[in-house]
A and B are shown apart, each in its own frame.
Chain A
Amino acid sequence: MLPNRGVHWLFAALAGVAMYFVALPEAHAVPSFSRKYHTSCQTCHTVYPVLNAFGEAFRRDGYRFPSTDGSVDSDVEKAPSVELGQDQYKKMFPMAVWPDKIAEAVPLSIWLNGGVAANLPGSAAADGAGNNFAWGGIAAEMHIFGAGSFSDNVTYMAQLTLETDFGDPPGSFDVETAYLLWNDILGPSHLVNLWVGRLFAPQLTSYGLHSSFLSDTVMPGVSVGGLYNATAGLTLGQGHTDGVELNGIAGHRFGYSLGWIGSTTAPGLSMPNSEDVYAHVGFKLGGLSLDGEGGGASTDTQRPWAETSLTFDVFGYHGLSRLDNGTGAVPNGTATPIQQDDRISAVGGLLHGQLGSLVLMAGLNFEHHDRPYPGSAATAGPNGTVFNGVPDLTSANAIVQYDEVDYIVWPWFVPGVRAEFTQTSVEGASNAQLMRIIPGIAMLARPNIKFVLSGDLEWANNLPVVGSWGPAGGMIAPNPGQSKFEAEQINATVGLAF
């Protein structure tokens, strides 16, 4: 049984606005590492935050330089450290504290980012914003990063985000990332690593969260649950989740991750038992090995980013999203939210290829939700009577497919085009589809100053249950059951890292 769509227009509009701001590019180039190693952003990045092959290896190795000839990370560290115990104390353990170190200078860096959108006349984007252009959000966020190492195998990353105009509520701050990376805990280097804390992101592929030149994340930020229920919070593969991840690389080219992270819940509801688990395996053919230590580094002195490679990744995810099902009792006329646990199963994969300076990505996710819909709401009757709502046990499925082609013309100029397709499949109702085409150019004015210009062309057939494509990043609003194509926006995003 489907809920009345009209009831959810307000939720849908709110979700759409929220998704617009969620989709703002976040900070993920970390000058703390530049300071630590006295090296340029371009050692690890092309147009940041996109990592080049070496940067991906650095990230996978737990924010450590790939080893050469038995070297350790501190061999290439140039910023001075304060030893909290010399290495020789390891011989004294357990009679002495296991030693480590901290950076002599506080290892902080700052990232400012934001963007402005020109809403094309007559588009749903213009209708929703009420204007065609407004100077808003160009400095939407400030991120403060702390990153570095405590030893040759223990590293850390933390990120505090201050939001100027947006957020929930506006002016809020959030510890988006704060985790400890305990690397090389068993066996050969990189085979078994334990990362604990507020993870940057669950690793569902071999690539970093921000491996797209034109979008914030390589895996689209689609809240499939949100397409069925405006209170759903899970967005597959996105970041900033508390938990623990075991990951590693075997034979330089085979990677894996196993994670257990916190489940999501709608505002006002109790936190459920953490039930989200995931696993991923990946294999890279050609190019620099996954850990950067198995050969394959580019020998092209003019184009050090260039390589010929193909990486296969598959993942599985099972989780729980606690929803407000709207069926609460109404004591004294005040609705009490009643929780509804929607269990999610998802599988997916990513193909990432590179042919010289040409970068190609293609990904596909299937997501199943066992009961994502809110039921009919409880209502208060006369004289204090209460009519309880009725839960909806309908299940739902979705397909998310995404592709991106980019060409690194120069290290500061990368044109590309991206496509994101989302289909919701609802029991007892017509499917709904959204296609977004995002052509654009990512540019560096300096190694630490970037601009991205992109367009947003949208086609949709039908509307999802909540009545808006906002949770899938779309703005187009066809009439129910009909198709529509529309050019929505031209976006300019800016970033400054120091």
Chain B
Amino acid sequence: MTSSAHAFTRAFGKVLAPLAVACALAPCFSSPALADGGGSITGKVTAAPAKYLGESVVYLKNVAGNFGGGTATVDQKAMAFIPHVIAVTAGDTVKFGNSDTVSHNVFSPDNEGFNVGTFPPGETRTYKFTKPNVGYSELCSIHPEMLGYVFVGQNPYHAVVDGTGAFSLKNVPPGTYTVAIWNSKLHAAEQTVTVASGAPATANFALTR
């Protein structure tokens, strides 16, 4: 890479870094917009041990319709995947960035497995996730301590649980659904929830080994 390319990369990285932090706090999607006017499902998740609470995604299983086709971004910065956990929809493509000062690699041994190769700072690689309702670990073969997760839902009704255990699935069409939770290490039983238009429904989960 030329020095000017390096300069561009650094500048790009500086721009991308705040974006990456923003992504950690908000969904990094450009998925098709969800229909307004539905109901919502909110709730609280507890985990034992609590330290794995943040590695949880609440999602609806098998909602009728065609979804996916959007894009999402996962960055690598300070030797970490940002955000640590991201939820996408089957058919979405995830763009893996590198805002670090060293080369990174992204691969996963889970499910069908994937490896987008090793790439230098400033470059990106993409992978299209098609298998629904599963989680993938993200690893970097150059830095074995790095770990992130991509959860792939069948539909866009999914939410990463926040640090307090709260989640909210918005704009859910009225109907009866199976609500499930994915966690990197823990498990909780699925629930059946009925959503009425404009009315909030509740689902709480207690994750354990």
Contact = CB atoms under 8 A, between A and B. Distances in A.
Interface string A88-119: 11011000110100000000000000000000
Given A69-B208, A89-B139, A84 B145 contact: yes
A86 B145 contact: yes
Contact of A69 (B108, B141, B209): B209
B208 A86 contact: no
Nearest to A78: B51
Contact of B145 (A70, A71, A85, A97): A85
Given A69-B209, A91-B109, A86 B137 contact: yes
Contacts of B209: 69-72, 75
Given A76-B49, A86-B137, A88-B110, A97 B208 contact: no
Contacts of A71: 49, 209
Interface residues of B, number: 14
Give the interface size class of chain A: 10 to 19
A167 B49 CA distance: 46
Contacts of A85: 144-145
A97 to B, nearest CB: 7
A76 B209 CA distance: 12
Contacts of B110: 88, 91
Contacts of A89: 109, 139, 144
Contact of B147 (A70, A76, A86, A96): A86
A71 B108 CA distance: 25
A81 to B, nearest CB: 10
A355 interface: no
Nearest to A72: B209
B146 interface: yes
Nearest to B109: A91
B70 to A, nearest CB: 26
A82 B145 contact: yes
A96 B208 contact: no
Q: Is the interface of B mostly helix, strand, loop or mixed?
A: loop
A92 B108 CA distance: 10
B113 to A, nearest CB: 9
Interface string A266-294: 00000000000000000000000000000
A207 B146 CA distance: 41
A83 B145 CA distance: 5
A89 B147 CA distance: 10
B147 A88 contact: yes
Contact of A88 (B48, B109, B208): B109
Interface in B19-68: 48-49
Contacts of B109: 88-89, 91-92
Nearest to B186: A75
Nearest to A97: B144
A241 B10 CA distance: 56
Contacts of B208: 69
Contacts of B108: 88
B106 to A, nearest CB: 13
A83 B144 contact: yes
A75 B144 contact: no
Interface in A45-98: 69-72, 75-76, 82-86, 88-89, 91-92, 96-97
Nearest to A68: B209
Contact of A86 (B48, B49, B146): B146
Contacts of A86: 137, 139, 144-147
Contact of A99 (B49, B141, B144): B144
Of A72, A84, A85, the most chain B CB neighbours within 10 A belong to: A85
A38 to B, nearest CB: 12
Interface string B142-173: 00111100000000000000000000000000
Interface string B170-209: 0000000000000000000000000000000000000011
Contacts of A72: 209
A275 B74 CA distance: 59
A102 to B, nearest CB: 11
Contacts of A75: 48-49, 209
Contacts of B147: 83, 86, 88
A233 to B, nearest CB: 45
Interface string B77-89: 0000000000000
Contacts of A96: 141, 144
A337 to B, nearest CB: 53
Of A70, A72, A75, A76, the most chain B CB neighbours within 10 A belong to: A75
Nearest to B137: A88
A85 B145 CA distance: 5
A88 B139 contact: yes
Nearest to B146: A86
13 contacts: A69-B209, A70-B209, A71-B49, A71-B209, A75-B209, A83-B144, A86-B145, A88-B137, A89-B109, A89-B139, A89-B144, A91-B110, A97-B144
Given A82-B145, A88-B139, A99-B144, 14 more contacts: A69-B208, A69-B209, A75-B49, A75-B209, A76-B49, A83-B147, A84-B144, A84-B145, A86-B147, A88-B108, A88-B109, A88-B137, A91-B109, A92-B109
Interface of A: 69-72, 75-76, 82-86, 88-89, 91-92, 96-97, 99
Q: Across the A-B interface, give the 5 residue pairs with the lowest CB-CB distance, nearest first.
A: A85-B144, A91-B109, A70-B209, A86-B147, A83-B145
